[in-house]
Amino acid sequence: SEAPAQEEKEGEMQDQGPPVLKNLCILPPLQKAGTLERNEVIDRVPLPPIRSEEPVSSIRAALADVCGYSHLTNYRFELQKPLDSSVAGNQGDLPIVSPYTGVNAVVSIPVALQSLDDEQQSKDHSLVLDDYGDLSSLMEGGLQDGSAFRIVLERYDAAQIRDHVTRTRSLIAGNAPAVVSLDDVSDDKGIPAEPENTEPADEKAIGENKDKDGQPKDKNEEKKEEKMKLPTYPNVGSTIVNSKDLKNFYYHACGENPDLYLGDVPKQATKFENGSKKKKGKKGKGQAQNGTEKEDTDEDVQVEQEMRELIPKLNQLEEKTKLDCSIRFSAFHPPPRSRKMLGDLAYLEVKPPGESKSIHITAIPTGFYVNKSTDAKFDPSPAAKACFSHELLDCLLQASSSFFTAWKSALEASKTRSKLMARLNADGHFACLFRVAIRGDFDGYTKPSIASADEGIDALVHSPSWMVPMSKAALESEDSWNKNGMHSANYAKTEDDLANTFGVDFRNGNSRDWNEELQMAREMPDSSLVERVDRARVINKVLSDFGEASLMGIKAISDGQIAPMNPNEPSRSQVFLHNNIFFSRAIDAGIETFKIAKGDKAARKSASRDIHCLGALHRMEKDGLYTLATVLIDYLGTRFVCQSILPGILNGEKSHSLLYGSVEAGLPLSWDKDMHELLEETMGKMWIANRPLPREPLTDERMAAIKEAKSASPLPGMSSEEEKKEEPAEPTVDMCTPIEAKGIKGSDERKYVLDMTRLTPRDANWVEKEKGGTGNWGAIQSSSPNKKSGVIPTSLDDDEWTLAVLRPELVNSYSQFLIGTYAREKKAKRDAEEKAKETAESSEKDEKSGEEAGAKDEAEKDNKEATKESPDAKEEKDLPSINDDDLDYIKSLRLNVNIFLPDIKSLEGIDDEAFAQQKKDEEVVRDVSNFLWERVLPGITSQMRTATGQQPPHDGKSLTDFLHQNGVNCRYLGRLADMAQAEEKKDAEELELAKKGMTTGMARNSMPECWLELLECEMVARAAKHVLDRYLTMNGGIAASHPAQTVASFLSAIVSSGEESAAQTENRAAKQNENEPDEEDYSALTLYDAGAIDDGTMPIRGRTGIWNDIEEEIGRRFRYSLTIFNRPAKANRTIYIPLLRRVCQKAGVRLAAKSYETGSKCYCGGGQNLAPSYPISPLDVVDIVPLMKHSAAHSGGFTPCAPGNPSSLPALHISLPDARQTLESAHVHHSGKALSRALELAQEACALYQRVAESSTHPGVVRCLDLMASILFEAGEHGLAAANQARSLGLLVQVNGFDSPDAINVHLLLFQMLFTGGKNYEAIKHMRAAIFLMELMGGPSHMEIVNAYHKLGSVYQTAKEPQLALRFFQEAASRKSSDRLLESMISKSLAAVLSQVGDFKGALEEEKKANNVFTKLLGKDHQLTKQSDQQLQLFAAAAVQQGNKAVKDIKSLEEEAVADAIASELEAEEAAEEARQKKRNNGKKKKKGRK
């Protein structure tokens, strides 16, 4: 089925593209006739070869980076005839003040305005480039090779003046241009070039890289014979990665040693281990982290030394590019009416660098000039030296010598910076991100605000990190503890904030109709690949913009900038309409709304379930069924629902119609045949059954409560009795959706589905047994009386569990299990019938006699031979045929999603047949729930114990994804923890028996300790998030207005082992440095609680109260009692740093990057004044960012987002099946060893993802690069494989941050690729980065850390560095591994290294450990056991020999010591005698002197 589409795709890719235009150029602005003073041909800007489909906007964007043209904003291009190509183009000698923007420049009327004049309409504008089009329209007008585009300046209006001022501010704020020619932009801008030859040319090329056995050739065999170049660690402490060193978070996350960057390291310490040097005058090649080659210096100096030298220079250059100049609208702005009549558009006030007097400027339609105004006097007329120019920058350059000097210096610094960045950027994308992250640790900055993270790494990484780097300039500034120095005056930001429209662009007319844009994008044609790409691109763009607008709207609502639509109602019921987006809080809207779940917790969960189901429908893209753009945002403890507006919903009931379900509680369910058929076709693909429901579904008790609520409400409501009379008489209605779902026909005649709260049934394990549940939790609780009383509820009667549904992955898994069982039983039945038939035919043959039987046997023989000769017919016969019974069975596997629901009327007595079917449906759901409880959960536990299957989860997010892939909800974390405890108990018992010698064998694998630690960590983090949200919203949300104290005290409590006493707090405060703030300093920071009423105090609790709330939430949510966290007896297993990281990620908290004293006593400050909580203070809380869950996101879950940064939104699902199918096909070819074809398809898929996302920073691109790297590595192209994998790592970090779980896997792959390619120095860095991230996310007991340290030791052992290898092996041996065979191999490696350093006794002890495990696991006859026996004998003999030699050495040393002692005594006596003699002589001299 994919073949035609693939052929069509390949055919389209082979079509001839548009023509390529060469030797194009851009001419300077047009001048008045006879006034040209320079040869404009010399100042032209050459363009690189471009296609005719190139948008004009991209040419304008490129020109914005060219010196002399970057400040132009209001102009157009006009096509001119080809120029003489023999004259050289722009050589960078254009004056600082442009000679083309002064009084002699032609300032034309915009073409759009010229059309208003009747006389101008006949004028031909065919040679004017359309800013919204491309170059293809000019092909008929004479566009050809060598053509020129003339810049023609245009008149301003008031809005364009504001845009021009914004551009000028941007240029002087560090964005000075550095490019002098567009035909060589990569050299000037420092953009890292793509790796050349990223794939072999063909299959033959790949084949040439393999040996005669088909294995990839090792191109580095000769290099391996040389001594490996590996990092050295002079200090023992620096050998082991320290995951608690959060101050150097970004160094460790990139595998770097901070001592080599920040410490006083001599130059030779940063060289390679063997200290090799290259001869002068000969260019060598050094390999960067991404596998690309770059020129090296005379000496083989490491990248650390280079960055130590270049980063301070870059910092100095960056500060030079930022002019200390403020451009703001004058206090005289806007112009008075009299001056408007004269053409004045705006008045500006500019304070040049180093000057106290401001320059006042008047903006007119033709440009800018200096006026006569002063700070106290208004006179907008031109000054004696008006310095007129069409551009503000040129006007200022003429008016101020200090500005001229500063701008000239900024241009020079920008060009130098570009060259240095080009040198550093050669190391690849990942190295660039690392450099930006650590730039603040180096000298060069004098202003802390310039070195802040907002100006650096936060602008590059999409997902805001929970660790914010603090710059050296900020830490060394005066009163650095209050961080005031990190903020500086900026009038531009002030004006932007005051003019903020919170996402609404008023200049484009009305607000965007998000729903219409989205639905029209979905209805775009998709018959060809080009159309499908355009459609997917538009959908992605609309949904991205919607997410950005929602984020800005929520920020405005939280700040009180937007008024509610219903201000007369309580705040919990208020809704907002802004930018055509409907905002509401995810809380219980009251009993009048038709819903099943009750309470705020259930409403919060319902919103999350709804957006999850909408995402599934969005991916299905069913024609005729529409969904609204929907986003969830959690911010400061409140969850907001943001939706596009359903057409007609705000215009009254006549503009839209309810087709399906019910909106108001108490009214019958609506039903429409067409809508039902459309939904049934869609829901059937999701295993959802069509079942009858009562037309009036609510019970009498619920109806009575609704009636009472309506009668008490002052608002008029529609009578439900009148509505009942209009409904048909049928008591039931067929529904294939959740009962809460609604199908609405909007005013645009489209059919929308809303409130799709579930696509699977409710989990019977979380239903009380009396109400139809499985009773599994009750059985567990009754069998475990030691559970902590008061923490785990005795009942499952919780409103939130109404929304506890089964995972779709579990339903699919269970359905496949049943279908497989059904197919096997059917095949067995068919085989039995065929066997019985053959037996019957054989008995018939025996009854026949003579010739008749013989003739028949001959005929059957011929028939068998004929059958044997046609294998196709036999194969067709063996294939299982699908008949109507099979289809009916598959259809019977669909599940009823409307069972076990509270307040729903029973079908008993209304439709007995439907009631019987409902009971069967309940039994089926109980079977699925038991399947989860009895097979899936034990299977996961067994998988973790045996270390089989995929990569183990590293942190809470990867754990969540892992469970979801297996069909398990996170509410089962407690059950998995119980099972992990049972396994650990079993291991302890086996170990005790082994110590007593009561068992001869043992299992290879034990239960990893990190599994239970990770489960509890995730439970604590999830519960802590809900508790913190509750604290922030208490007392009317008073804590959310200044949350630093609440958050700091809360985090201090969860990362501590106890709470300080008053005496301990005083002792700690007394030991503080003088520069550290005390309690008085904190109190003086702000008027914390001034004017507050009695009940407005902050909800600050002590550590005990916080942990009680957390444990209560864990008991309710996970039905589990903690055994590690908050347990003093298990303090050594508590993973504080992973918990701190996970809580910050779940709550959107960002902390200053510093080392925190976790695991010690804490102090939870608060009350009437700001207090220094410990170990995390309020000033350590840098920010709290919103968390977004997008219905069209690429992956589920909430993602931290930074308001104002469009790139920080979560990556969206790409609505292009071609990209997904191409990538899957690439995987298939890769598995089939068709490497060249697989590489082609992977590159094609990568291009499709980039075309749709309009950026390479998308998870789809990362997956393509990963596959390309794997293909190239398998083909033996180790350097190219590492290059692609490094590009993948850089993009992955930019999308998810430095410490994402996927980054660990990529670091490990890069280690393997670089090590195989002979790049050992870089390989070691990636392994150390992986170790740091594993310990940061999963704690020191992470199951892969032991293996990682063992690999490092093996590398150093191979490199003949036994001392360093010994350190790594010892660290690996000190960690507990769940693989006993790995422990024995570590002991064996440790024994080998100890023998190399001469410690044969230690080697003997380690070899005994390995031999003991080998004997028990593998047996005495195994090869490893035999080798170990031989090693034991050798080590024993060597130890004895070493011992005898040591005894002799000790005796000789003792004799030498005795002799030395005697000699020392004699020398001491002689020295004492000399001293006495000298003293006597001195005494005699003194006596003579007295005489």
Helix, strand, coil distribution of the chain in percent, nearest 5: 50, 10, 40
**Residue 294: strand pairing partners:** 286
Q: Is 282 exposed, middle or buried (0-12, 13-18, 19+ CB in 10 A)?
A: exposed
Is the confidence at residue 599, as pLDDT, over 90? no
> Could you count the other beta carbons within 10 Å of the beta carbon of residue 814?
23
* 502: its two tokens: 């919170």
Q: Greater confidence, 87 or 933?
A: 933
Point out the least confidently predicted range of 127-131, 572-576, 1198-1202, 1224-1228: 127-131
Look-up: residue for tokens 């309009």? 1254
Dump pLDDT digits (tens) for 945-963. Answer: 988 767 789 999 999 999 9
Average pLDDT (1399-1408) is: 89
Higher pLDDT, 1294 or 724: 1294
Q: Which is more confident, 10 or 885?
A: 885
Choice among 430-439, 1142-1151, 1238-1247 with the minimum mean pLDDT? 430-439
Q: Is the pLDDT of residue 529 over 90?
A: yes
pLDDT at 389 over 60: yes
The mean pLDDT value for 764-771 works out to 93
pLDDT band at 1136 (very low <50, low <70, confident <90, very high): very high
Reference 1194, options 1272, 1138, 1139, 1257; nearest CA is 1257
pLDDT at 1137 (0 to 100): 96
Across 1131-1145, b (16+ Cβ under 10 Å) vs e yields eebbbbbbbbbbbbb
Find the mean pLDDT for residues 484-503.
Answer: 82
Q: Using 50, 70 and 90 to split pLDDT, how confident is the model at 199?
A: very low
Summarize pLDDT for 1332-1377 with one digit per residue, the tens. Answer: 999 999 999 998 999 999 999 999 988 888 889 999 999 999 998 8
Residue 1223: is its pLDDT beyond 80?
yes
Classify burial at 105, counting beta carbons within 10 Å of its beta carbon; exposed 0-12, middle 13-18, buried 19 or more.
buried
- 213 DSSP assignment: T
pLDDT of res. 1219: 95
CA angle at 432 for the pair 426 and 434, rounded to the nearest 5°: 135
**Segment 498-525 mean pLDDT:** 86
pLDDT at site 271 = 41
pLDDT: which is higher, 103 or 1450: 103
Cα 643 from chain centroid?
A: 24
What are the residues whose beta carbons fall under 8 Å from the beta carbon of 1123, sequence distance 6 or more?
A: 977, 981, 1012, 1016, 1130
Q: Pick the most confident of 992-1006, 1307-1321, 1415-1429.
A: 1307-1321
Could you give the count of Cα atoms lying within 13 Å of 458 in the half-sphere of its Cβ? 24
In which band, very low, low, confident or very high, does the pLDDT at 134 lie, cut at 50, 70 and 90? confident
H helix or E strand, kind and range, residue 578: strand 575-578
pLDDT score of 190? 33
More confident residue, 738 or 709: 738
* pLDDT at 445 exceeding the cut of 60: yes
Report the percentage of the chain scoring pLDDT > 70: 84
Q: What is the pLDDT of residue 230?
A: 79
From the centroid of its chain, how far is CA 46?
40
pLDDT surpassing 50 at residue 561: yes
- Mean pLDDT value of segment 1289-1317: 94
1217-1231 and 2-13 helices, crossing angle to 10° = 100
Interatomic CA distance for residues 71 and 1346, integer angstroms: 57
pLDDT confidence tier of residue 403, bands split at 50, 70 and 90: very high
Q: Looking at per-residue confidence, does 805 or 1129 come out higher? A: 805
| Average pLDDT of the segment spanning 1280-1303 | 94
Per-residue pLDDT at 194 exceeds 70: no
Has residue 477 got a pLDDT over 60? yes
**Range in 490-504, 1029-1043, 1343-1357 with the lowest mean pLDDT:** 490-504
DSSP sequence for 1026-1086: HHHHHHHHGGGTHHHHSTHHHHHHHHHHHT-SEE--HHHHHHHHHTS-TTS--HHHHHTTS
Q: Is the pLDDT of residue 831 over 50?
A: yes
Q: What is the dihedral of CA 501, 507, 513, 519, to 10 degrees?
A: -120
Q: What is the pLDDT of residues 201-217, one digit of tens each?
A: 444 445 455 554 555 55
Q: What is the DSSP letter of 29?
A: E
Amino acid symbol at 88: A
Q: Is the pLDDT of residue 909 over 90?
A: no
Which pLDDT does position 220 carry in this prediction? 47
Q: Which two tokens stand for residue 878?
A: 């063996």
Range of lowest pLDDT (77-86, 540-549, 1057-1066, 1363-1372): 77-86
Higher pLDDT, 497 or 713: 497
Mean pLDDT, the chain, integer: 83
> How confident is the model over 671-682, as a mean pLDDT?
91
Q: pLDDT tens digits for 570-596? A: 888 899 999 999 999 999 877 778 888
Tallying the residues shown for the chain, one arrives at 1491
What are 1187-1221's pLDDT values in tens digits?
999 999 998 889 999 877 777 889 999 999 999 99
Write the pLDDT tens digit of every residue in 979-1032: 999 999 998 888 888 777 777 667 888 999 999 999 999 999 999 999 999 999
Contact 182, 149 (CB under 8 A): no
- Rounded Cα distance between 279 and 822, Å, is 75
Q: Is the per-residue pLDDT at 32 higher than 50?
A: yes
Higher pLDDT, 614 or 302: 614
Residue 684 has pLDDT above 70, yes or no: yes
Asked whether the beta carbons of 649 and 576 are under 8 A apart, the reply is no
Of the ranges 53-67, 258-272, 395-409, which one carries the lowest mean pLDDT score? 258-272
- Is the pLDDT reported for residue 125 higher than 80? no
Mean of pLDDT values over 904-910 = 88
Instruction: Grade residue 297 by pLDDT with cuts at 50, 70 and 90.
Output: very low
The dihedral built from the CA positions of residue 1145, 1150, 1153 and 1157, taken in this order, carries a sign that is negative
Q: At 561, list the tokens.
A: 């900038």
**Is it true that the peptide bond before 1175 is cis, omega within 30 degrees of 0?**
yes
Lowest mean pLDDT among 95-99, 167-171, 652-656, 1263-1267: 652-656
pLDDT, greater one: 123 or 527: 527
> Residue 1458: what pLDDT?
65
Residue 650: pLDDT above 90? no
Best-predicted range by mean pLDDT (13-27, 35-49, 123-137, 791-805): 791-805
Percent of the chain, pLDDT > 90?
46
Give residue 1241's identity as a one-letter amino acid code.
L
Tell me the pLDDT band of 872, cut-offs 50, 70 and 90: very low
Whether the predicted pLDDT of 686 surpasses 80: yes
**pTM greater than the 0.75 cutoff:** yes
Quick one: pLDDT at residue 595? 81
**What mean pLDDT do residues 35-57 have?**
82
Q: Which of 1450, 1370, 1455 is nearest to 1405 (CA)?
A: 1370
Give the torsion through C-alpha atoms of 793, 794, 796, 797, to 10 deg: -90
pLDDT at 651 over 90: no
By DSSP bridging, strand 50-51 and strand 107-108 are unpaired
- pLDDT score, position 1025: 96
Tokens of 67: 């010196």
Q: What is the pLDDT of residue 946?
A: 87
pLDDT of residue 1441: 83
